[in-house]
Structure 1
Amino acid sequence: MSGPALRKVDSHSAIHDAALQEARELTNVIERFWRNGNKERALKTAFITIEHWQTRTLAHADAEEEGLYQEIAAQSSEKHEKIMGLKRDHDLMRGIVSDLKEELSTNGMNEGIIQQLHALIIIDELHNQDEMKVLPDH
């Protein structure tokens, strides 16, 4: 069983919005550091951003999959299919975050990191919109 905040559209949306806004801000900081030639600060901030994705968005995704998604999927076959798509989104985000962490550790900061962080934000935005449509009280 998932917690009540995950089952209410308003509170669940607020959780998503806060984490996504933080991710946007961190990505913007990385980009400013990078564009201004402060590569070391960009790299440090990129690692902080990866940690943010892991501890906020992906930890939230884990909680959704352990309870909320199971509850929703049990409601109907249509919702079950939508939940499978939402889980796929989580897997995509996990894969990108893992790849980014590996790239940063192996090769350091580069332009591609910034592009992938922006892509991650877009995936999460679209995911959040789809997820709000399947919550029980939506």
Structure 2
Amino acid sequence: MAVGPSLRQLHAHKAIHNGGMAGAVSKTDQVLECLENGDTELANALADDLLQYWENRIIGHADAEEEGFYREIVKGNAYMQETITKLTRDHDLLRIIVADIHQLRQSEGLSPEVLHKLQSLIVVNEIHSRDEERLLF
């Protein structure tokens, strides 16, 4: 798959990460605020939107990286395979956490464990983005 220029340039790639993270944090805060205000119906609707955001925006970006950008890096620099494997594992962790949240919400609703996992997505993505920017550019 051809890689677009925004994935290859640090400033553009960092802007993608920052924009994605800002949206995830804002949407997570909205869920928490609704729960604090006792509006569980709206909190659940916002949680649905938040998970869709993680799947489409953040994990969608991860998929694009893996399908093109990461392959391009390894093709030109075989010594980068271990780094790419580690960064791909970060993406896998995001996918696993999102799947866990979906499953937990079916049985527990917006439980404390679900809220904890929503926060963990932010932490994992923050560390991943910083490492990716440092190691690949």
Name the TM-score class by shorter chain: over 0.9
**How big is the shift at 1:69?**
0.2
* Aligned pairs (5 A) from 1:58-137: 58-135=59-136
* Aligned pairs (5 A) from 1:35-50: 35-50=36-51
Q: What is the percentage of aligned positions where both structures have the same residue?
A: 36
Q: Aligned partners of 2:36 and 2:112: how far apart in 1?
A: 10
Please report the RMSD computed on the Cα atoms of aligned residues, expressed in angstroms. 1.2
**How big is the shift at 1:102?**
2.1
Secondary structure of 1:109's match?
Answer: coil
* Counterpart residue type for residue 64 of structure 2: A
Aligned length: 136
- Is there any run of 5+ residues in structure 1 with no aligned partner, and where? none
Partner of 1:52: 53
Partner of 2:24: 23
**4+ residue runs over 6 A deviation:** none
- Is there any run of 5+ residues in structure 2 with no aligned partner, and where? none
Per-residue displacement from partner, 1:84-125 (whole Å, max 9, x unpaired)?
000000000001111112222343211221111111100000
* Counterpart residue type for residue 66 of structure 2: E
**How big is the shift at 1:51?**
0.1
**How big is the shift at 1:77?**
4.1
* Counterpart residue type for residue 50 of structure 1: L
TM, length-normalised to structure 2? 0.93
Greater Cα shift, 29-38 or 80-89? 29-38
* Counterpart residue type for residue 22 of structure 2: Q
